Amino acid sequence: MDGLILLGEPSRAYLRAITQLNVPMVFMDFYDDAASAPAVVGDNAYGAYRLTCHLINAGHRDIAYVGNTRLTSSIMDRFLGYYRAMLTHQLPVREDWLLNDRDAHGDVIAPELPAQMPTAFVCNCDVTAVRLIEKLQAAGYRVPEDVS
């Protein structure tokens, strides 16, 4: 093999194992500070910032974030964009509105809905958004009429 292209962030153990192969590699949609491979990533922080600002400009003030920030660099970057938009607009980032979307194995799950509902959610990815919409609809909410 001449090289590797890794799409999506693997586990730390897997990443350690493949870096020992001593072949050129490129990371796609993630980066790792401990690895010396080049990375190609979208501007996750700015994208989530713009998304959150769009919701704020539409009148939302109670906005939750859905994503396990400790799982991947992309999810963390998207959270930071959400966080920046909330700080910029002097809106609170409530701990109970930071919702987990992954189980202990990293598999996507439907997040638990908070006791006090926000008016909008920023989801870290489309799969999480679909799971959240299904959960909201099962609880009787209409999307986007009741919740964005």
**Successive 10-residue mean pLDDT values, the chain, 148 residues:** 89 87 90 85 95 98 95 92 98 96 85 96 95 96 96
pTM of the model: 0.84
| d(C-alpha 35, C-alpha 15), whole Å | 8
Rounded CA-CA distance 104/148 in Å is 27
**What does the pLDDT read at residue 89?**
98
Instruction: Specify the pLDDT at position 86.
Output: 98
| pLDDT at position 62 | 98
